[in-house]
């Protein structure tokens, strides 16, 4: 059945999921938990600001199950972005894509820990991208988002949204209903890291 298109598609989907899960972290913050994405092999992890808010006993659980204390090294409440550092080296990082080239209708996948289910996946398509989206356009005028037609839940926050090649195009951040999620475009994340951390620990 290896010439069955759907079977090929399923295999590719599963491979893509595995690749993305290998750089997916859990962020444990007191009782709450969210997701994070390993950005640099030396322990730089990107997540949402709201996932680390409070910062009591902040820990990161790496894909292999290793649990490490984490320090917040950059934090932006309005942007809802944070960068964490853990003492580690040689971590698998995620490939970074181009969120300025996002097209409505293109395939996407979000990975996180919805309701505490580790590494769970939801897939769908990009609804639209930019600053003129009906539901969020008025909240912070001029702010860019990627609107997603997939089923995000609490626990997806801070996790990666990837394109069909498994490249990071956004950080899962919020939902406006059971079927619509919003991600911060990865070019906004890059700018945030560059501004706050300079070139230190930047992926190249």
Partner 1 sequence: MSDILQTLSDAMADAVQQAGRSIVRVEARRRMPASGFVWSADGLIVTAHHVVEHEENIRIGLPDGSQTKAALVGRDPNTDLAVLRAETGGLTVPAWAEADAVRVGHLALAVGRPSGQLQATLGVVSALSHSPNENHFFAQTDVVMYPGFSGGALVSASGQIIGLNTSALMRGASLTVQTPTLRFVVESLLRHGRMRRGYLGVGVQPARLPKALAEQIGQKSGVLVMSVEPDSPAERGGLFMGDTILAVDGQTIENGEDLVSSLGGGRIGQSVPVRILRGGQVQELQITIGERG
Please confirm, yes or no, whether 42 is among the known catalytic residues: no
Task: List the structure tokens of 173.
Answer: 């951040």
Cα–Cα dist 48/51, whole Å: 5
CB of 161 to partner 1, least distance (A): 13
CB of 164 to partner 1, least distance (A): 4
**Cβ neighbours for 116, distance < 8 A, ≥ 6 positions apart:** 33, 155
The CA–CA distances, whole Å, from 194 to 85, 93, 133, 199 equal 15, 17, 26, 6
Query: What is the dihedral sign for C-alpha 45, 131, 165, 115?
Result: positive
Please confirm, yes or no, whether 157 is among the known catalytic residues: yes
The CA–CA distances, whole Å, from 64 to 61, 67, 174 equal 8, 9, 27
Q: Which stretch binds partner 1 (CB under 8 A): 2-10, 55-63, 67-75, 77-85?
A: 2-10
Q: Which of 50, 113, 156, 187 is catalytic?
A: 50
CB of 132 to partner 1, least distance (A): 5
Q: Which of 85, 99, 123, 157 is catalytic?
A: 157
DSSP 54: T
Binds partner 1 by CB under 8 A, chosen from 87, 98, 107, 194: 107
> Binding residues for partner 1, per CB under 8 A?
5, 8-9, 11-13, 15-16, 103-107, 124-128, 130, 132-135, 137, 147, 149, 163-165, 179-180
Enumerate the active-site residues.
Answer: 50, 80, 157
């Amino acid at each position: 059945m290896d010439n069955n298109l759907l079977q090929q598609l399923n295999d590719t989907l599963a491979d893509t999921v595995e690749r993305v899960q290998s750089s997916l972290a859990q962020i444990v913050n007191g009782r709450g938990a969210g997701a994070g994405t390993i950005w640099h092999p030396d322990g730089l992890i990107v997540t949402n600001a709201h996932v680390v808010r409070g910062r009591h006993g902040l820990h990161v659980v790496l894909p292999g199950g290793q649990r490490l204390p984490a320090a917040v090294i950059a934090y932006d409440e309005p942007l809802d972005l944070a960068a964490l550092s853990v003492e580690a080296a040689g971590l698998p990082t995620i490939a970074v894509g181009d969120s300025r080239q996002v097209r409505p209708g293109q395939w996407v996948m979000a990975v996180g820990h919805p309701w505490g289910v580790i590494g769970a996946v939801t897939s769908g398509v990009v609804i639209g991208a930019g600053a003129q989206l009906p539901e969020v356009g008025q909240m912070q005028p001029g702010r860019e988002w990627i609107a997603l037609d997939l089923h995000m839940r609490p626990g997806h926050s801070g996790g990666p949204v990837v394109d069909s090649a498994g490249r990071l195009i956004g950080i899962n951040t919020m939902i406006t209903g059971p079927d619509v999620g919003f991600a911060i475009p990865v070019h906004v994340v890059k700018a945030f890291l560059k501004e706050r951390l300079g070139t230190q620990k930047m992926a190249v």
